[in-house]
Chain A
Amino acid sequence: MKLIKVEHAYKIYKNGTTAVADLSVSIDKGEFVFVIGSTGSGKSTFIKMLYREEKPTKGSVIVGGIDVARLRNSKVYKLRRKLGVVFQDFKLLPKLTVYENVAFALETLGLPSDEIRPKVLRAIEAVGLKEKTRNLPSELSGGEQQRVAIARAIVNDPKLLICDEPTGNLDPDTSKGIMKILDKINKELGTTIIMATHDKDLVNQMKKRVLVIENGVLASDTKKGSYKVHESVKNSN
C-alpha cells in the first residue's frame, strides 16, 4: 500500500526560486526513508510539501489518501492528524513539563484526559524518558529534548513520522540514540518514517532507502543505500 505518492511535483517560491522540480516518488507503508542532499538542494521543501506547510506549485502530492495540492487551508488539520513532525530545533514549550508537552498535542485536539494519560505515558516510555516526565525542557539535554519532541509527534499514533534533520543539533553519540529510537518506532509500531539529514555516518550505518535530491531534482533513489551514492552523484555532475 502506497502511503505517499508524489508525481511531477514542483515548488517554485514566490521569489522565483525553484526549490523542487519534477519530483516523483512513492513510499510504502512502514518504510524508513532517508532524504539527503547538499544544503539548499530542496530537502526541507520536499518534506514541507508532505505535511502541507508548502503547497506544491504543480504536480500532485498524495499523503495517506489526501491530495495535498488541493487541500484547503481550513482543512490542513485533517492531514496533520495523520502524521507527526520532528525538527532540528525541538519546538518544545519551555514552561511545560515533559508530560505536559506531550499531552499538549492531544489536549488541543479535545481528547478527554482519561484517554490522554495512558497515551502520553506510552509515548514517553517509547522514547525512554519515563524518569523525566516532570522535568522542564530546560532541565534536559538536547538529545532528551529531541526525544520529547518525538514522543509528542507519535503520541497520536500517526501513520507517518516526518523528521527534518532531527539530529542536526546533536553530537554523534546522541544522534545514534535518537536514530535507535526512530528505528524502533519504525519496526515496532510500523510507523513510516521520512528523515532528511546531513549525517553521513547515520545513513551509512542504517542501510535504509535513500533519496538523493540535488538542485530540487530527485537524483537517485536506492534501497539500502548509503551516503556514497550521494557523493558519486555529486561527482558525476
Chain B
Amino acid sequence: MKALRILTRSIRDSFKSVFRNFSLSIASIACTTITLILVAISLFLSYNVQQVTKDLEHELTIVVYLNKDVTDEQKTEIENDLKTMENVDSYELKSKDEWKAEMKDEDESLENALDIFEENPLLDSIIVTVKDVKDLSETAEKLRKYDFVNSAEYGEGMVENVIGIFDAISFGTFAIVIALVLVTAFLISNTIKLTIFSRRTEIEIMRLVGASNTAIKLPFVFEGFILGVLGSILPILLSIYGYVFLYNQTGGYVFTQIITLVKPFPFVLFVCLCLVVIGSLVGMLGSWRAVRKYLKI
C-alpha cells in the first residue's frame, strides 16, 4: 500500500513536471517523435526488404542445361559432384518432358508451338539451389566446365545488386536511427537535469525528512518515461495510417510485381509496439543518466 502511494505520487509529480517545463518537454518530445518516425521507416523498410530478399533468395537457383546427347553416366557423374559441392543446397533433375508439360500449363499457345516439333526441342536440366547467394556466380562457373553442360543460367547480377542496394539502405537507416536515439537520450537527459535543478529544494527536503532514494529518484525516471511515450504517439499514428494508406494505394506492389509489401496487420501493430518500447526505453535511459549524474544521493 505504502509503495503504491509513493508510486502514484511519483507519477503525479512527473506529470506535473512535464507540464511545468513545457517548452523543454516539447523539445524532448519532438526529438523523440522525429527519431521514432525514422525508426518506423527503418522498420518498415528493413522488414519489407527482408521479405523481398527471402522471396528473391528462394528463386536463387542455377538452371544447368545439359547437352542433347548427354549420357546417363554423365548425368550420374554431375549428380555425384553436386552432392559434394559446398555451396549446393539441393538439386533436382528436370527432364525436357517435364519442362514441356510445365510450359503447356502456363501458356496454351505454347502447347501448339511445341507440338510442331517431332522431337521435344527442349533440354534436360538440373535445377540447383545454392546455399549462399554471394557465391552464386562461382558455383555456376564450376558447373559450366563440364563438356556436356550446355549452359548454366541464373539471374546474372541483377538479384545480387538488388539485394546489395536494399542491404545498404537498411544499414544506412539503421545507423541514422542509432545516432538519433543517442541524441534523443541526451536531450531527454538534459531536460531531466533541468528538472532536477529546478527541484533542488524539494529534493533536499525529501532527503531531510527521510524519503528513500527510490522515492526521490522515481519521479525523474517516470518523467523520462512519459516524455518517451508522448513522443511515440505521433509516429504510431503515422505508422498505422501511413502504412495502411501506402498499402491500399499501391495494392501492395511497389515498382514491379516482384516487390510486394508485407500485409499491414499484424505487422503495423508490431511496429507500434516497437515504437512505444523504444520511446520509453530511450526516455528512461536519458533520465537514468541525468539521475546518476546530477542527483547524487
> Residues on A close to B: CB < 8 A?
51, 73-74, 76-82, 84-85, 91, 93, 104-105, 107-112, 152, 156
Q: Are A80 and B9 in contact (CB under 8 A)?
A: no
- Bound together, the chains give a CA A84 to CA B212 distance in angstroms of 15
Q: Are A93 and B202 in contact (CB under 8 A)?
A: yes
Contacts of B76 in A (CB 8 A): none
Q: Which 8 A-B pairs have CB atoms at the shortest separation, nearest pair first?
A: A80-B210, A81-B210, A105-B209, A110-B2, A108-B211, A110-B6, A77-B210, A110-B5
Interface members, chain B 206-262 (any A CB < 8 Å): 206-213, 215-216
Contacts of A51 in B (CB 8 A): 208
Q: Are B201 and A93 in contact (CB under 8 A)?
A: yes
- By beta carbon, the residue of chain A nearest B8 is A110
Q: Looking at chain A's contact residues, is the secondary structure mostly helix, strand, loop, or mixed?
A: mixed
Compute the total of residue contacts between A and B using a CB distance below 8 Å: 58
Given contact pairs A77-B210, A77-B211, A110 touches B9 in the complex (Cβ within 8 A): yes
- Bound together, the chains give a CA A225 to CA B228 distance in angstroms of 61
In this complex, which of A77, A78, A104, A108 has the most chain B Cβ atoms within 10 angstroms of its Cβ?
Answer: A108
- Bound together, the chains give a CA A66 to CA B297 distance in angstroms of 19
Contacts of B206 in A (CB 8 A): 108
A108 to chain B, nearest CB (A): 4
Contacts of B9 in A (CB 8 A): 107-108, 110
Q: Are B205 and A105 in contact (CB under 8 A)?
A: yes
A55 to chain B, nearest CB (A): 14
Q: Are B213 and A78 in contact (CB under 8 A)?
A: no
Q: Are B209 and A152 in contact (CB under 8 A)?
A: yes
Contacts of A108 in B (CB 8 A): 6, 9, 206, 209, 211, 215-216
Q: A78: which of B5, B207, B210, B216 is its contact (CB, 8 Å)? A: B210
Contacts of A107 in B (CB 8 A): 9
Contacts of B213 in A (CB 8 A): 73-74, 77
A99 to chain B, nearest CB (A): 15
Interface members, chain B 183-212 (any A CB < 8 Å): 201-202, 204-212
Given contact pairs A77-B213, A109-B211, A104 touches B205 in the complex (Cβ within 8 A): yes
Contacts of B201 in A (CB 8 A): 91, 93
B101 contacts chain A at the CB level, 8 A cutoff: no
B78 to chain A, nearest CB (A): 73
* Inter-chain pairs besides A80-B209, A110-B6, 18 sampled, C-beta below 8 Å: A73-B297, A76-B207, A77-B211, A80-B208, A81-B210, A84-B209, A91-B201, A93-B202, A93-B205, A105-B209, A108-B9, A108-B206, A108-B211, A108-B215, A109-B211, A111-B2, A112-B5, A152-B209
A202 to chain B, nearest CB (A): 24
B158 contacts chain A at the CB level, 8 A cutoff: no
- Bound together, the chains give a CA A182 to CA B9 distance in angstroms of 32
- Bound together, the chains give a CA A91 to CA B208 distance in angstroms of 11
B114 to chain A, nearest CB (A): 85
- Bound together, the chains give a CA A112 to CA B285 distance in angstroms of 31
Contacts of B116 in A (CB 8 A): none
B1 contacts chain A at the CB level, 8 A cutoff: yes
B113 contacts chain A at the CB level, 8 A cutoff: no
Q: B212: which of A77, A85, A104, A156 is its contact (CB, 8 Å)? A: A77
Q: Are B209 and A109 in contact (CB under 8 A)?
A: yes
In this complex, which of B5, B9, B212 has the most chain A Cβ atoms within 10 angstroms of its Cβ?
Answer: B212
Q: Are A91 and B211 in contact (CB under 8 A)?
A: no
Q: List 22 A-B contacts (CB under 8 A).
A: A73-B297, A77-B207, A77-B211, A77-B213, A78-B210, A80-B208, A81-B209, A93-B205, A104-B205, A104-B209, A107-B9, A108-B206, A108-B209, A109-B211, A110-B2, A110-B5, A110-B9, A110-B215, A111-B2, A111-B5, A112-B5, A152-B209
- By beta carbon, the residue of chain B nearest A149 is B205
Q: Are B1 and A156 in contact (CB under 8 A)?
A: no
- Bound together, the chains give a CA A85 to CA B206 distance in angstroms of 12
- By beta carbon, the residue of chain A nearest B205 is A91
- Bound together, the chains give a CA A74 to CA B201 distance in angstroms of 19
- By beta carbon, the residue of chain A nearest B213 is A74
- Bound together, the chains give a CA A93 to CA B2 distance in angstroms of 24
Contacts of B6 in A (CB 8 A): 108, 110
Given contact pairs A93-B202, A108-B215, A85 touches B208 in the complex (Cβ within 8 A): yes
- Bound together, the chains give a CA A85 to CA B204 distance in angstroms of 12
